[in-house]
Amino acid sequence: MKSCFYKSTRSNDLTITSSEAIVKGLGHDGGLYIPVKFPRLEKTFDELKCMNYRELAFYIMKKFLTDFSEEELLYCVNNAYDEKFESKDIAPLVESEGVHFLELFHGPTLAFKDMALSILPYLLKTASKRLNIEKEIVILTATSGDTGKAALEGFADVDGTKIIVFFPEDGVSQIQKRQMVTQRGKNTFVVGIEGNFDDAQRGVKEAFADIEFNKEINDIGYMFSSANSINIGRLVPQIVYYFYAYLNLLGEEKISQDEKINVVVPTGNFGNILAAYYAKKLGLPINKFICASNNNNVLYDFINTGVYDIAREFKKTISPSMDILISSNLERFLYEISGNDENMINGLMKDLKENGKYEISNKMKEGLKDFYGGYIDDKKTCETIKEVYDSSKYLIDTHTAVAYAVYKKYKAETGDKTKTIIASTASPYKFTRSVMTSIKEGFENYSDFDLVREMSKLTNKDMPIGIRDLENKEILHNRKCKKDEMKSTISNILNK
């Protein structure tokens, strides 16, 4: 097997192994790690469709993590995708409303982030052992709601690590917040910031990039790494479920050999849709990438104009995990469509930092031809939840509703009848108020936890294990800080 090495999107002076890329998280120059050369899959789809989720994850991830031994990677995969997922299929496909919903929310925190963050702690621990790292690794993470809890759950009480999660104090759902602030684990720290997700993400990136701050942290025995999808160890596991969905359709004879599909992804930080794009680079037959946005529609504008402009009002919506204006993973995609031009990427990122916008070249705009961008507002999101439930009794969350509504727009505009997978990124139980008030009146005075019980009655299903008794759990994390106090907060936590 050919070795897979990694480099930064912003320079060509350093090539490293997957273990080093996972531990470092972010490039030495502020760029994101990408494979120097993409691997190819030797097995046919007929061979792959016989694999279960764990077998497929091992096969695909081994192509990217070539410095891991087979025993090490099997250990990581088998410990990640086990009984903590409430569905034996890990990521089941549900056919409804003429599309296939890929349910990515059956993990312990009820969101798609579990698909990668269940394995990242094992990858990181294995990688640090391979590299003989003695310093304690501090996971710095910004979250718009779901990454935080999934990362906390994955890293809680993992030896040799601490995890610090920053979240927008007023920018997540009550269920999401409660999941985080009740997290157990002596190595877990949760901080609400006075700001939005972009502020939290910017603060984390600044902590990584500050050489003096990193020296100060190293001197007291720590080093930083990331659990956000800027970490290649987060992104690679996400490629697997797009293959798994396609192979399921093939196995059930819903599609024919090599038939193309569309993929619809509710998109904020661009990581989940980038994983689908990477799946296509590996040979998955994808026709169109449908990028669905809410009112924070910076990606919609970019796909349709080639201009990325964050000079706009940040809007709080009922799909908060997409309330993002600076989509970090877009940098990896820009690198691809620039023809791997590091100088071009540096110029674009400089423009974004200094002017709040950039415009890609006409040649790069040609790389957008496989993408469709659409967006909807909160009113349409609510209407879509009700429409799907009334039609099929299938309950979807606010983010999945954005994806389905944008797909309907796409289909109406194009007439495209290609079979379509929608990434269903969160359980409706994470956004009970928005979901329940969309389908029925009279819930205005209910608490979020009352609504959890009502949702369970409505669907005639037990509520997921991940949120049972959540309202009775002790609040363990009360830290708050201003957006410009993140580094001092990190120092205070680590110096105790």
Query: Which of 310 and 145 is assigned the larger pLDDT?
Result: 310
Residue 1 has pLDDT above 80, yes or no: no
Burial 137-155 (b: 16+ CB within 10 A, else e): bbbbbbbbbbbbbbbbbbb
Cα distance between residue 316 and residue 325, in whole Å: 11
CATH of domain 93-108+233-463: 3.40.50.1100
For residues 333-357, average pLDDT: 97
Name the residue type at position 460. Answer: N
- Tens digit of pLDDT for each residue in 160-211? 999 999 999 988 988 999 999 999 999 999 999 999 999 998 999 899 989 9
Confidence of residue 223 (pLDDT cuts 50, 70, 90): very high
Q: Which of 7, 63, 113, 177 is catalytic?
A: 113
Residue 137 has pLDDT above 90, yes or no: yes
- Tens digit of pLDDT for each residue in 271-294? 999 999 999 999 999 999 999 999
Confidence at residue 145, expressed as pLDDT on a 0 to 100 scale? 80
What secondary structure, in 3-state letters, does the chain show? CCCCCEEECCCCCCCECHHHHHHHCCCCCCCCEEECCCCCCCCCHHHHCCCCHHHHHHHHHHHHCCCCCHHHHHHHHHHHCCCCCCCCCCCCEEEECCEEEEECCCCCCCECCHHHHCCHHHHHHHHHHHCCCCCEEEEEEECCCHHHHHHHHHHCCCCCEEEEEEEECCCCCHHHHHHHHCCCCCCEEEEEEECCHHHHHHHHHHHHHCHHHHHHHHHCCEEEEECCCCCHHHHHHHHHHHHHHHHHHHHCCCCCCCCCEEEEEECCCCHHHHHHHHHHHCCCCEEEEEEEECCCCHHHHHHHHCEEECCCCCCCCCCHHHCCCCCCCHHHHHHHHCCCCHHHHHHHHHHHHHHCEEECCHHHHHHHCCEEEEECCHHHHHHHHHHHHHHHCCCCCHHHHHHHHHHHHHHHHHCCCCCEEEEECECHHHHHHHHHHHHCCCCCCCCHHHHHHHHHHHHCCCCCHHHCCHHHCCCCCCEEEEHHHHHHHHHHHHCC
Average predicted confidence (pLDDT) for the chain? 95
Answer whether 91's CB lies under 8 Å from 30's CB.
no
Domain boundaries, the chain: 93-108+233-463
Residue 11 has pLDDT above 90, yes or no: yes
Residue 113 falls in the annotated catalytic set: yes
Confidence at residue 364, expressed as pLDDT on a 0 to 100 scale? 98
